[in-house]
Structure 1
């Protein structure tokens, strides 16, 4: 069987792999449904109802929090991590001639 794969192009091999992965996912899903049905059937046979909940799918990012890098000395509630768009308070101060290093939080 290995020699059959050696004759395929990279695109053909990728297609075979993709098809095999899809078939495997479908088999797992079919088996999962069969097992859940069997569990419910067995539970019902002894007068018990079973509720099977699906695990929650992860949402959003799983990154760690970024520490605050800059802070407005005139309003300590205004902070910025240094990522994303520059906040208006900081841009205003920079436009007035201040240097961004003035607003760095010393650690």
Structure 2
């Protein structure tokens, strides 16, 4: 077994990635085996089996939401308008500004 204490961070990350890939491959193979067994059992009693692939990723996952608000003095500070309002915008609103002043056209 490998002594993980003596590995660098990059080497540890590589070990983790390889282990995750190996685990996913084993799980996929096991799933295929079980599905084949189910198909064989179903065929033995003249029943058709159809599997629905629920592993497809959501079409919305990973879609970037456009920026809706930008800090007037620091353009690197932005907000999409979703989730918790950032502190920079919160403080400006508390100072009496309207949120719509910082909307991007």
Q: List runs of 5+ in structure 2 lacking aligned partners.
A: 63-79, 82-99, 101-105
Q: Which residue of the partner structure matches residue 94 of structure 2?
A: none
Q: List runs of 5+ in structure 1 lacking aligned partners.
A: 63-81, 84-100, 102-107
After the TM superposition, list the runs of 4 or more consecutive aligned residues in structure 1 that deviate by more than 2 angstroms.
Answer: none
Matches of 2:5 and 2:30, distance apart in 1:
32
Equivalent residues, number: 64
Matches of 2:17 and 2:29, distance apart in 1:
18
**CA RMSD for the aligned pairs?**
2.4
Matches of 2:22 and 2:57, distance apart in 1:
22
TM-score, structure 1 as length reference: 0.53
Q: Computing the radius of gyration over CA atoms, which structure comes out larger, 1 or 2?
A: 1
Deviation of 1:13 (Å)? 0.4
Q: Which has the higher strand share?
A: 1
TM-score, structure 2 as length reference: 0.54
